[in-house]
Structure formats: C-alpha cells, structure tokens
Amino acid sequence: MPNQAEPIDQRLVRALSHPLRIQILEILTERIASPASLAEQLDANLSDVAYHTRALGRCGCLKLVDTAQKRGATEHFYKATPGSFVGDRAWRRVPSTILGGVSGASLQTFMDKAVAALEAGTIDARDDTVLNWMPLLLDQDGWDEVVAIVDEANERVLAAQKRSATRLAGAEEPLEAISTVVALASFETAGSRPADAEAATPTR
C-alpha cells in the first residue's frame, strides 16, 4: 500500500520519474519477478533495473514477496502493490504538469498489449471477448453518472481479481490462469469545448 506518511502525488511523481520504472511496474503488476529476470525481459542493464526497482519499493509501489540464494547472492522478488498499476484512479491525482505523461503511458501500454494480442490471435480466441467503444453526448449529470458507473466497474473487476488469486493459490489441482487486460475509459473528446471549436475553425 502507499506510504501514508507522504502525499500520494509525491509518491507517484517519483515513480514516474524514469520510463524504465513504468515498464518495471507494468510487469510486476502481472507477475512476481526479480530485478535479474526483469533486466533480461527488458534487455536492460541489471544495475539500472535494480536501482529503479528499489526506488519503486521506497515509493510504496512494490512489495518484497520472496528472496532466494543464487550464486552466493540474495535475489529479491517483487510484486506491485494494489492500486499501483498505471491507469489506477490514484494516478489521476498527480500534478497537471505530468498528467499528460500518465495518460500517454496508459494508452501506449494498452495499445501495445492489444496489438500483441491481435498478432498472437488471442484477442479473438474467446467468444466472450469484449472490445467496444461508444461515442456519447452527455450533460454534467450524465457525465457524473458515467464516471460513477466506471468507478464501480473498476472496483468490481479488482474484487474479481482478488477472488481469482485466492482460488488459484488454494486449488488442489492447477487451475488455468488467464492473463487478461480489462480497459475502462471515459474522456471528453477533442473539439467538444467552444474554445477548441473556435481554434479549429479556419479564418478567412
């Protein structure tokens, strides 16, 4: 969990201070890994990965879940803490000067995973795959209602993940672990505000 002694803005600002940290955090959201395995997957220098992993740990974004002796050294294994994944509601509370970077990182990660799934054929492997988006025209009350619906859906998805983790860990016989991406988004479209519309209107 985040360190309650410091504002969440500062925690996340430090977590975002290097692009390698975003990559590390994305991997450790999905699985437990050591800096050595992260460095191999990211094709990065081990000392750099270890440094940024420790920094994420100090920010409260990672937790140490295991250690092992390997070649006379202690190998540390980490997992992202709940709510630390890029795109979580908490990331929207970072200063506006870096908010665009957060949104860009969220969209880029989603697109990378979607393209990889498309190329692998897994995006259409299940009949109940959900892949849709819808343009809406809302007033402020409608916008607030949609935000509440998305927030509730997010909480229910995370609760389902926790129940799945319990079942996977406690099963007597191995259960199939389905690596999944769930995307929830609602945002104001470009050109929807009068100032944007005026800026987009050519002058004679």
Whether the CA torsion 61, 65, 69, 70 is positive or negative: it is negative
Asked whether the predicted pLDDT for residue 21 surpasses 60, the reply is yes
pLDDT per residue as tens digits for the range 39-77 = 999 999 999 999 999 988 888 889 999 998 887 788 999
pLDDT per residue as tens digits for the range 145-163 = 999 999 899 889 888 988 9
Report the pLDDT value the prediction gives residue 82, as an integer from 0 to 100: 72
Q: Where in the chain is the domain with CATH 1.10.10.10?
A: 8-120
Q: What is the mean pLDDT of residues 75-92?
A: 76
Which DSSP string do the residues of 103-171 spell out, in sequence order? HHHHHHHHHHHHHHHHHHTGGGSSTT-----------HHHHHHHHHHHHHHHHHHHHHHHHHHHHHHH-
Under the banding of pLDDT at 50, 70 and 90, the label for residue 3 is: very low
Instruction: For the domain made up of 8-120, give the CATH fold.
Output: Arc Repressor Mutant, subunit A (1.10.10)
Asked whether the predicted pLDDT for residue 98 surpasses 50, the reply is yes
Under the banding of pLDDT at 50, 70 and 90, the label for residue 1 is: very low
